[in-house]
Structure 1
Amino acid sequence: MKNTTKCLMSLCAFLPLVACTAEQEPEGLTYYEQIMGAPPLLPAQPEPRWQACAPTVAADNENYATVAETGTGEGWVEQTVHDWTFFPASVEDGKVLVIDYAQKGDELAFRYLANARTHDDLYEPWSSSKVMAYAGAMSLVSANLAQPDTLVGDVKLADLITSVHSYESSGLADGNSNAIAYYFANLAGRDYLTALFHDAWLNIGQPEVKFRGAYGPSAFVPEDNYWRTPSRFVSAQFVARDNDPGALTYRCEDCGLTGNKPMTTLASAEFLKRLATHKRVPETRLPGVSDDAVMMLFYGPGHSENVANAGGMMAGASLMPHRAVAKALQAQYPILAGRSLQDTLDTATGGNWRIFHKLGAGPSETRGTSEVVALAHICLPLHDGTREFTIAAQTSVDDNTEANVGHAGAKLEDLLRRTIQQLLTTRL
């Protein structure tokens, strides 16, 4: 069966950045255009910085486990502190997994929380997997080549990664997120990207998880194959694969209905979590990836200021995670009720919140559904205690239409809201 799925690419009119009343809640195509297609909010204090947001718990706290306690080899997942039925959402509500952070002594520690044992259910990640394409490529690139002035041909790397997440032009990057991510996947190669989920890095323990596909009809082609950093007088040649022997067709013999990039909430969240903790947990760093490359992913330092001053994952299109977090905060702290999204987030955190996210969405003819995926790392330095977590979630509705993608998006926002609200009310 031929797959004719279509990724979320065009951005439309934007809503005012205020909290919606129940009567004003958008639905269907309106939600798709005005919420999922909106530019992100930015914190009042948006400067790039390494995260250090995890709350502190006692060294003997058994609710969180360090990497030293779980290990990183085969079987590490079952050694974690986890509850695969922690959230009451049903399978029909969607799939959600949260990696919740805490600081235990000198080490970062984690607990893994999911709903209805969906943590290892396969799904198509859509564009949320573009984070993996970029990270895999950058782990094979020299550490000197992720600078604010790095050029890929004649386009800034910072503009490329910003355009991937914003779907907007940034400098000479034209907003074709699919083509740019396709280029990064070609640089890394599908054998390597797939191996990162297994013995090359994550050891996720689920062989069905793979990265064998691409995005859209064609890849970005730089002016030439050289990456240059003028300020450091460094250049190197990187040739992207035109015909990758590790690539598979969407409905290959072993691919099934979830296509050639099947992932799980656990695999996706763990991938992003290890990038978010790059400085704090050396044992799980992506081999070869530099500090600068990770900072480039999250903030896009050096990007052209075309996207509301946001770069990298900070520029991720959609107000969906911001609305979910703000509504959860309003439920937790009634003093915030009725405030705008921006005021809620800034007031609760002193303007120091962070939401790094990548949306994936589309109507799938193959599965006869409309689907939305969220992958995000969130830091909330609240006045009564910080919370930090990485979250992956997916929802779907029947029938493959753009309007139903909007319905799936609203469903995902509600799942995120309920998940975050429960997380904020649970004791560490």
Structure 2
Amino acid sequence: MSQDEHLDPGGMPLLLHIGSGASSDAAFCADADTVLLVEPDPQLAQKARVWLSETAQGRVVQAAVADSVGQAALNCVSYAKMSSVRAMTGALDLYPGLQVLRAEQVATVRPRDLLQEYEGEVRKGGCGLIVGAPSEAYLVLSDLHASGLLAGFGYIQIDAGEHPLHEGGASKATCETWARDHNYSVQWGRSAADPNLHVGRLNYDWSAAYQKLTLLKERLEADVREARQAYKSAVEEVSACSDSLEEALTRLKSKELELEDVQETLAAENDALRAELESSKRSFESALASEQQALKLKTEQADQLNDSYLKERKDRESLESELKRLQALIQDEMQKNQKLLNEVEDLREDNRLSLRMQRMAQADLADLQSRFMTLATEKSQLEESLDKISSYMKSEISQRREIGVNPGKAKKKSKRVTSKERPISKSGESSDG
């Protein structure tokens, strides 16, 4: 089936074309009272406005359809029909030369929001719907059906790819499944403008809907039969309960008579109890007055005791204050005594140190005296040795002088001098002069 076989909607109050590009089908627009073109690309939307002003009555909405209202980035590609807010997947395989020309920030709207101004015309029926955005067919059909507006479109045409062209986008199989689940039949054909795309015409399948209604009717009839059976059982139970209720009422009347007798007995007992209560009340009031008088006396005594206690407490506080003052004085005296004891202990320690130093000085003095005696002895010995050496030197000098005057005599005298007469030095060696 060619595309031209799809383009025969007849007269319609409204034509909604989603993904129209720069224009729509002139024949459709001529048969529609109002044309609503939806195109997200700003440049194509401007061209669509110019085209629509020269062709038909209506307006152009520059927005992309989505599942929520907001903003999204539109990827404008070299093949305008593949421009989308979704990322391209199968489109790159189907059209290898596709290139992203630019990115535009565009508004997003739900399909149902596009029809807010035209809801009255749509609900009357006979409107036309064209979904020229292949990846958005499932979204548009689902949203309009959920809002109850899809039933107002007597002519529905969608474009779809054999496989999803964009991420999360619809395919031919997805649209067929949705249509079958919602009582629509689809007639597919190839697009004359792009043989890679399928063009589908959706018609409401009344026979399928009738079958579903028939099945629903059978289910309801079965439910009604079950309800009637349940009602019959309930009536029987109510009848049995009615008999039981009559027996219960008879027993209740008997109990009511017994209750009246009990009430009369209780009334008599109540009167006797009330009289006894009045007597007890008077006795209690008399005893209470006596107790109050006694309590008043005890209260006065307690006040007196309290005054005495306060006075004693005040005296005790003054005594405690005086005791604290005396304790403070005693504490000061003890601190002073402790200070004196510490000073005495310091003096004792100083005295012990002085005695120790005195003993050390005496020991040092004794040692010095011993050394001095030793040095004195050595000095005496040294002086004695020096005297001997001096005498010897004088003797030698005299002899040498004599030798110089009388050499022959000197030789004779020199023979008489022996080693025993030579002076001995302190080191123990003989002195040869």
Q: What is the TM-score normalised by the length of structure 1? A: 0.22
The structure whose residues are more often helix, as a share, is 2
